[in-house]
Amino acid sequence: MSRYLIQVLFLFAAGSAALAQAPSFSSEVEAVRVDVLVTDNGKLVPGLEPGDFEILDNGVPQKVELASFEEIPLNVVLALDMSASLDAGQLAHLRTAGRTLLDGLKKTDQAALVTFSHVVSQGTGLTSSFDRVRAALDDTAAFGQTSLVDASFTGMMIGESDVGRSLLILFTDGIDTRSWLAADTVLDTAKRCDVVVYGVEVGKHRFSFPRDLSAATGGRLIEIESTKDLNATFRGILDEFRQRYLISYSPQGVTAGGWHRLDVRVKGRSVVVRARPGYLSGN
């Protein structure tokens, strides 16, 4: 068995064991967190309070207890495709975009770097030393094939490894060619965690997994024509994520296990609300 496969299986086993415990309502009711983006004609809507939101868990109305805006530090994980299809100019654009994103973080935030070809590498874990992440970013090189699904799982596990609001920015320029983990397995994992995924795809090679993963976590997929657009794209993702609401509630009147469908609305407002469609609870 290859060293890479051992690493992926270890990450999968450790992550699945941790995520299988949350959210769990068996002996003590735990809060469910939902990251929410609210827009009106494409513009972000600020100033909403807990009482402005309505949330249904499997059709049952819940009491929103918290609606924070910018108070909670961010855990931002960059998962970057470094396969051989990336040329020198595109790699330079990707590094510049990564640095721009790091420049936009606050002292209380943390960042991490994952790179992937047919090998998934953790450049850094979550750290507030952004110079470490910059150094790891500068040390990247393009080679090999693409393990997009495996890298997504690794990025989510890193994002979940510390308290805070977790954002995974997943960049790719192609389809998955070498992952060991099944896409459906990783999507199920995403439904058990609080990481919000923004996928960024460049080029004409389309693969449904980044779109499915973004939708499952309440993020979105951004398709761009050229890596020249990455700088503005990464900056825009960070700015948008900071203005999302983090709402929470303690589930009442719903069964503990299985799939919980979520409906999030803003009372009395004709606005667009983007949030994860639900979550998996229990084993």
| pLDDT tens digits, 79-101 | 999 999 999 999 999 999 999 99
**pLDDT of 117-163, one tens digit each?**
999 999 999 999 999 999 999 999 999 999 999 999 999 999 999 98
Would you say residue 18 lies in a domain? no
pTM to 2 decimal places: 0.89
Based on the fold, state whether residues 47 and 182 are members of the same structural domain. no
pLDDT value at 230 more than 60: yes
Based on the fold, state whether residues 249 and 236 are members of the same structural domain. no
Neighbours of 201 (CB within 10 A): 21
Structural domain harbouring 57: 31-68+245-281
Question: What is the domain count for the chain?
Answer: 2
Based on the fold, state whether residues 40 and 141 are members of the same structural domain. no
With contact defined as beta carbons under 8 Å apart, do 251 and 42 qualify?
A: no
Give pLDDT, residue 283: 64
**Cα–Cα dist 104/118, whole Å:** 30
Based on the fold, state whether residues 35 and 84 are members of the same structural domain. no
Would you say residue 91 lies in a domain? yes
Kindly report each contact of residues 217-220 with a partner whose C-beta sits within 8 Å and lies 24 or more positions away, as own/partner.
Answer: 217/168, 217/190, 217/276, 218/34, 218/35, 218/36, 218/37, 218/274, 218/275, 218/276, 218/277, 219/168, 220/274
Would you say residue 2 lies in a domain? no
Mean per-residue pLDDT, 23-40: 72
Based on the fold, state whether residues 183 and 213 are members of the same structural domain. yes
3-state secondary structure of 13: helix
Q: In the predicted model, what is the mean pLDDT of the chain?
A: 89
Based on the fold, state whether residues 206 and 110 are members of the same structural domain. yes
